[in-house]
Chain A
Amino acid sequence: MAKIEVNKEKCKACELCLAACPLGLLRMSREFNSFGDHYCEQPDSSKCTGCTLCAIMCPDMVITVYK
């Protein structure tokens, strides 16, 4: 049981987290945040292991991981 929480407003859409997730669980949103950027999202958290790699990779500390 794990999940991530994304601070949508802080995300700059660099997509570095997408490649960091070993299971490919992340994708970019269709919606925009108020800065006009897409943001990362985890549509299905059921497979998330809470490995924290996406959060470690994110330079802007957008992702909080719960396990």
Chain B
Amino acid sequence: MEKVFGIPEGMNDKKTAFCPGCTHMTAYRLIVECLNELGERDNAILCRPIGCSLNADGSFDIHTIQSMHGRASAVATGVSRMNPTKTVMSYQGDGDAISIGVAETLYAANRGEKMTAIVINNQIYGMTGGQMSPTTLIGQRSTTGVRRADDTGYPLRFAEWLGQLEAPGYVARAALYTPKDIMQAKKFLLKALRCQKELGRYSYIEFLSFCPTNWGVQPKDCLKYCQENVLPVFPVGEFKSCF
């Protein structure tokens, strides 16, 4: 028998500190797989954020630059301008990219920086223990309160927002909920990276991700929870595509 699926080249067997059912590592795996397919893994620089994603430390083999919370897009701007032949990516959570770093993310998109912004949207601050994030759903509980439209506002649909800008070449949202979703997510990510590499344009891709621990939902019940609550607010799809 022949191996048809395993750990991709550029990732290792290390057990990460992510909670059971967290799909951060799925996103990392897709990044590595896509870079491998494009032959770009050695030519890529990933601007890493502060947040749960740091739990992936040491489990993947890509050049990285550690960024401050919220600033990955600004760091990626500097990297990209000085290294125009590289595949430059930022990787952030929703709080990182859309709350504290909303200006950096938005302006990098609006300048059309040659980079791919990857945002993990799980509607909560994971690493600090479940506080309200810019994408927390109406009625969703967090350790800093229940989101109510009248005082904490609405979940921010950032991909839809960026999709209206002139400069970005590719803007999409994908889910990491089912194998089918994940295969679609990979297709989107490949397009995003190709948009940057081949056309020199800005790409934004948002991955809807599970956070069973901070949602208080069993991993096996997450899919149903998301189909009922998340997908109606954050529809999956391409909001802008240069292909």
Contacts and interface: CB of A to CB of B under 8 A. Distances in A.
Given A19-B223, A57-B182, A52 B15 contact: no
A63 B16 CA distance: 15
Interface residues of A, number: 30
7 nearest interchain CB pairs?
A14-B21, A12-B20, A14-B20, A14-B219, A66-B1, A65-B5, A53-B179
Nearest to B24: A59
A7 B18 contact: no
B179 A64 contact: no
A20 interface: yes
Contacts of B231: none
B88 to A, nearest CB: 25
Contacts of A54: 179
B215 to A, nearest CB: 13
A13 B212 CA distance: 13
B21 A67 contact: no
Interface string A1-33: 111000101101111101110000000000000
Given A10-B15, A20-B178, A56 B5 contact: yes
A65 B25 contact: no
A48 B215 CA distance: 33
B79 to A, nearest CB: 28
Of B5, B29, B182, chain A has the most CB atoms within 10 Å of the CB of B5
Interface residues of B, number: 31
B22 interface: yes
Contacts of B18: 12, 59-60
Contact of B4 (A14, A18, A66): A66
Interface stretch (B6-14, B108-116, B164-172): B6-14
A12 to B, nearest CB: 4
B219 A16 contact: yes
A3 B6 CA distance: 12
A3 B1 contact: yes
Nearest to B3: A66
A14 B220 contact: yes
A67 B177 CA distance: 25
A49 to B, nearest CB: 11
A37 to B, nearest CB: 8
Nearest to A37: B20
Contacts of B29: 59, 61
Contacts of B149: none
Contact of B5 (A7, A9, A16, A63): A63
